[in-house]
Amino acid sequence: MNTFKKPRWLIRESKVTNENLYFNRREFIKRSSIYLGSSAIAYNFLSKDGTASQNNINDLKFIKNNKYNIISEITSENLSTKYNNFFEFGSTKNIWKESQKLDTDNWKLKITGLVEKSMILDVDNLINRFKLEERIYRHRCVEAWSMVVPWLGFQMSKLIKHCNPLSSAKYIKFTTFYNPKIATEQKARWYPWPYTEGLTIEEANNELSFIVLGAYGKNLHNQFGAPIRLHLPWKYGFKSIKSIVEIEFTDKRPVSFWENLASNEYGFWANVNPAVDHPRWSQKTERVLGGGERETEIYNGYGPEVSALYSNFSSLGDRLFR
Ligand SMILES: Nc1nc2c(c(=O)[nH]1)N[C@H]1C(S)=C(S)[C@@H](COP(=O)(O)O)O[C@H]1N2
Ligand SMILES: [Mo]
């Protein structure tokens, strides 16, 4: 069992309320610089070895969204950035050095498919338009390990609105970059590269669906899926696709990378549920990065936010959770 211990700095920050979300421009600049300062204090003590060998890691401005701060210990940056799944760079957890080869400068995000007008956005566009907030989310990998990360980003619903999807758009398909020259695992022909993922429009518009551009107060580490990834805390980790180059609105349900490889093990929905085992292992508990074990919760503990999405889906049975 996990003992829920609040880090000291979180208790201090908890004085800050949700009002901070409703700010005017001047207040934003003033407050965000305060957070910038405090984040530097908070995360530097968590990370013992420097990040000097990693690309382009700079502090970012953001506001805290305390609505989603879970009462649990944040995984130290040193652990969460050294234990990653990013199969483009290798099939072990130790890909952080390999992933530094990814050049994230001048990254373009294409918006395509069933939208009023296709668009190309860049990272600065996104940050300037949508502003960054910090959300501390639980992450539960289908392999039964978990972590807690302070992500920086914005609610996906804001981006969807900006894209003006047509009413015929029912799903969103996300695609990761394809560049076998630097991501050498992409030379393996038996994988259906590039990595893709999908959501229904309703799921993508849920308040929890988060476009991530940073973590631990800084812009995103390459191994976390720089410069743009998703985080969907109620779903198994493989749905949270990294290093996104394209968001396509479509009327067909996308077939994701893992579903394509093994649809009986990794389905489209992949909602966390301790009661539905993976065909090869139990999902009842999870190994917490940094130590300990905890009981896995349905929807990874986010049922209040997301269970209504699935109230008419009982006919899917276990498919909803695999
Ligand atoms: N493009 C891409 N996205 C990906 C993956 C991947 O291999 N490639 N792995 C997924 C899996 S299985 C998990 S658990 C998370 C891991 O995220 P983390 O390395 O930030 O912990 O990313 C997901 N997104
Ligand atoms: Mo995963």
The residue whose C-alpha atom lies closest to atom 5 belonging to ligand 1 is: 86
- The count of domains in the chain is 1
pTM of the model: 0.85
The answer to whether residue 12 is domain-embedded is: no
Tell me how many degrees the CA angle 88-278-318 measures, rounded to the nearest 5.
115
The answer to whether residue 15 is domain-embedded is: no
State the distance from the centre of ligand 1 to the C-alpha of 55, rounded, in angstroms.
19
* Tokens 């022909």 found at: 189
The answer to whether residue 53 is domain-embedded is: no
Average pLDDT over residues 238-260: 98
Domain that holds residue 207: 62-321
- Please provide the DSSP assignment of 100-120 as one string: GG---TT-EEEEEESBSS-EE
Please report the pLDDT score of residue 55 as a whole number. 63
- Identify which ligand lies nearest to the alpha carbon of 176: 1
Look up residue 204 and give its amino acid: A
The answer to whether residue 251 is domain-embedded is: yes
The residue whose C-alpha atom lies closest to atom 1 belonging to ligand 1 is: 242
Please report the pLDDT score of residue 56 as a whole number. 67
Bigger pLDDT: 154 vs 13: 154
Query: Does the pLDDT value for residue 28 go beyond 80?
Result: no
> Which atom, in ligand 1's list, is nearest to the CA of 223?
19
Is 141 a pocket residue for ligand 1 (Cβ < 6 Å)? yes
Tokens encoding 256: 């994701």
Please report the pLDDT score of residue 26 as a whole number. 36
- Identify which ligand lies nearest to the alpha carbon of 257: 1
Cα–Cα distance for residue pair 314/312, rounded to 1 Å: 6
Q: What percent of the chain has pLDDT over 90?
A: 79
State the distance from the centre of ligand 1 to the C-alpha of 160, rounded, in angstroms.
22
Helices assigned H by DSSP within 60-101 = 77-80
Query: Does the pLDDT value for residue 67 go beyond 60?
Result: yes
The answer to whether residue 98 is domain-embedded is: yes
Is 20 a pocket residue for ligand 1 (Cβ < 6 Å)? no
State the distance from the centre of ligand 2 to the C-alpha of 313, rounded, in angstroms.
24
| Contact present, 41 and 9 (Cβ < 8 Å) | yes
Average pLDDT over residues 85-110: 97
Is residue 127 packed enough to be buried (19+ CB in 10 Å), middle (13-18) or exposed (0-12)? Answer: buried
The answer to whether residue 21 is domain-embedded is: no
At 166-197, the pLDDT tens digits run 999 999 999 999 999 999 999 998 899 999 99
- Identify which ligand lies nearest to the alpha carbon of 102: 1
> Which atom, in ligand 1's list, is nearest to the CA of 80?
21
Question: Which among 107, 214, 212, 116 has a CA at the least distance from the CA of 161?
Answer: 116
Protein residues within 5 Å, CB atom, of ion ligand 2:
85, 141, 237-238
State the distance from the centre of ligand 2 to the C-alpha of 309, rounded, in angstroms.
22
User: What element of type H or E holds 253?
Assistant: none
Q: Which of 79, 84, 85 has the most ligand 1 atoms within 8 A of CB, as the residue to mutate?
A: 85
Please report the pLDDT score of residue 196 as a whole number. 98
Cα–Cα distance for residue pair 280/159, rounded to 1 Å: 37
Q: Supply the CATH number for residue 182's domain.
A: 3.90.420.10
At 194-204, the pLDDT tens digits run 999 999 999 99
Please report the pLDDT score of residue 260 as a whole number. 96
Tell me the pLDDT of the chain averaged across its residues.
86
Tokens encoding 42: 């908070």
- Please provide the DSSP assignment of 217-236 as one string: TEEPPGGGTSS-EEE-TTB-
Is 84 a pocket residue for ligand 1 (Cβ < 6 Å)? yes
At 86-96, the pLDDT tens digits run 999 999 999 99
Query: Does the pLDDT value for residue 264 go beyond 60?
Result: yes
Cα–Cα distance for residue pair 90/170, rounded to 1 Å: 33
* Range from 34-48, 140-154, 299-313 carrying the lowest mean pLDDT: 34-48
Please report the pLDDT score of residue 204 as a whole number. 98
Please report the pLDDT score of residue 312 as a whole number. 92
> Which atom, in ligand 1's list, is nearest to the CA of 236?
14
The answer to whether residue 247 is domain-embedded is: yes
194 cis-preceded (ω within 30 degrees of 0):
yes
Query: Does the pLDDT value for residue 9 go beyond 60?
Result: no
The answer to whether residue 56 is domain-embedded is: no
Question: Which among 176, 234, 225, 236 has a CA at the least distance from the CA of 203?
Answer: 234
Helix (H, G, I), strand (E, B) or coil at 139: strand
